[in-house]
Structure 1
Amino acid sequence: MVRKAVGQVSLVEALLPAAFGSNLRLERVRAQVDWALIEATLQPMRLASTGRPAYPPLVQIKVLLLQQWYRLSDRDLEEDLADRLSFRRFCGLGLEDAVPDATTLSRFDLAEAGPGGSGVRRAERATRTARPRHQGGHADRCDLGRG
C-alpha cells in the first residue's frame, strides 16, 4: 500500500518557539502511551496497491482519538486539524502536511484497524488513563484524566 509520508519538520516549524501551539494535556498523553506497540498492531491493516496514498494508520488512529475525546464531527475535526498546531503535533502531522478531509475521516473503517479492530481497542485501552475528559462545548475545554 502506498502511504503518505508525514511529520517532517519544516523550516517554519523549526523556528517556532517550543511553547508555541503546545497543549500539555496532549503532550502528556503522547508521552505516556507506547505508540510503537499500537503502530505494530496497526501494520496489518488492509493494503491496497492502487488509489491515493493513505495516511499512516497511527495518524488515523490518533485523529480518531481526538475526535472522540473532543466530541468533534468529521467537518469540525478537519477544521481543527488544519487550525490547531497542538492537534497536528499530537497526530504527527507537520505544518506542510495535508490534513485528512471530512470524507476521508468518515470512510476510515474502525474494523480495519488491525485484526478484529484490535488496533483501535489497544489504542483506547492505552490512552484510557491519560486521555482528555471533555467538559462540554469546545475542544479547548478538555481536561486530562489522572493516570
Structure 2
Amino acid sequence: MSFYVPNLEELVPSEHRYRKILELVDFEKLTTGLRESYSSTGRAGYPVATAFKCLLLQFMNDLSDRELEEYFKDSLAGKLFCGFELMD
C-alpha cells in the first residue's frame, strides 16, 4: 500500500493538446479586462481565467454545463488545463 498521490503534471502527457494551448496562451493577460466585471458580492467564485478555460473546454468538446462536470471526473488533462487538482 502506498500513500503517494500522483500529481496531474506527471499523469498528463507533455504533448497533450491542452498543454500546447497553455504554452501558447497567457490566460491571465487575456482575462484581465473581464475581472473588472466580476462581482464582489456573494460567495467567491472561481478565478476568471479558470472560468474562461472551462468555457473554452465546453466549446472545444461541445459540452453542456452538466457534461463538463462529468468530463472533469474522467479527464485528467481537462483538470490540468483549468488549474484544478487531481481530487477536485
Q: Is the 8 A contact 1:67 1:77 kept in 2?
A: yes
Pair 1:13–1:41, CA change in 2 (3 A)? farther
Q: In the comparison of the two structures, how many residue pairs are matched?
A: 84
Say if 1:21 and 1:84, in contact at 8 Å, map to a contact too: no
* Larger RCO (CA under 8 A, 6+ residues apart): 2
**1:69 deviation in Å?**
0.6
- Residues 17 and 64 of structure 1: is their aligned pair in 2 closer, same or farther, counting only changes over 3 Å? closer
Structure 1 unaligned segments of length 5 or more: list them.
1-10, 98-147
Label 1:37 to 1:17 Cα distance change in 2 as closer, same or farther (>3 A).
Answer: closer
Question: How much is the aligned-residue C-alpha RMSD, in angstroms?
Answer: 2.1
Q: Structure 2 unaligned runs (5+)?
A: none
Aligned partner (choices 58, 61, 67) of residue 58 of structure 2: 67
Structure 1 distance, partners of 2:69, 2:58, is: 10
Q: 1:39 is matched with which residue: 31, 35, 58?
A: 31
TM, length-normalised to structure 1 = 0.50
Q: More strand per residue: 1 or 2? A: 1
Identical positions, percent? 33
Structure with more helix by fraction: 2
